[in-house]
Amino acid sequence: MNRISTADGTRLFVRDWGSGQPIVFLSGWTLSSDAWGYQMTPLSERFRCIAIDRRSHGRSDDPGRGYDYDTLADDLAAVLDALDLTGVTLVAHSFGGGEAVRYLTRHGTRRVKRLLLLAPAGLPCRRQLDGNEGVPDEMIGQLVDTIGHDFPGWIEANALPYFMPDTPRAVIDWTARDMTRTSLLATVALTRLQMTTDFRAELARLDVPTLVIHGDADESAPIDLTGRPVAAMVPGAQLVVYEGAPHGLYFTHQRRLNEDIARFAGC
């Protein structure tokens, strides 16, 4: 089953490999399921590995609407329901963390058993009136404006810190191509959504075993702004820090990450 229809008729591309206990992968901002190839290929020898192209990403339909966390969570629910999955380990990178959290607080834990947040971004992000450490509104506005007027240029300016200094240029170009397949309308809308949604109350309500993995060299979502506070807000969450790892650690630290995912999903 490569296409699953959501409540509003949007058809989502779903990659489904292997058999066994299910692991569902949610990609980062503007990335498709292709980003998870280096996890799904080895892990599908032991687990059923499923990855989704969210609406307006990758091979999914581009409906021009539905760029809010409730709709994205409902899209995820449509996939899990269509595949009738239970005992899911949900692995969410970066922006995908918000989808995962909203799914759990909106749809409950009947299908999901564990949550792995990988370099979570945009959970505590915007500076709130109560004085949390975060990004001020003027910087958010500048970011949205820059991306809306020259997304390829923004990618080029931010590509090197996303990976490691020795990451091949071909990998950077492959990632950029994947990102620019996402519609600009969705890219701008999801940038604003990620930067302005306050998940703190929802994080405190999570009641599944949660593992947060974050690199201490992450410049896209600095660990002290995102990973550490997220782990502190989720009851019982465990934080694992990858020394020297950037935001794109699904590629740069794939062997260690795959071992940690397998260990967490198999426990």
Residue of 53, 61, 178, 218 with catalytic role: 218
Q: Known catalytic residue: 62?
A: no
Quick check: is 214 catalytic? no
Would you call 247 a catalytic residue per the annotation? yes
Spot the catalytic one: 56, 94, 178, 253: 94
Would you state the torsion angle of the CA atoms of residues 156, 157, 163, 166, taken in this order, to the nearest 10 degrees?
80
Sheet holding 48-52, edge to edge: 3-5, 11-17, 48-52, 22-26, 88-93, 112-118, 210-215, 238-242
Q: Of the residues 93, 214, 247, 253, which is catalytic?
A: 247
Closest CA to 117 of 211, 52, 37, 201: 211
100, two tokens: 């995962």
Residue 249 DSSP symbol: H
Phi/psi for 49 (5° steps) reads -110, 125
**Catalytic residue ranges:** 94, 218, 247
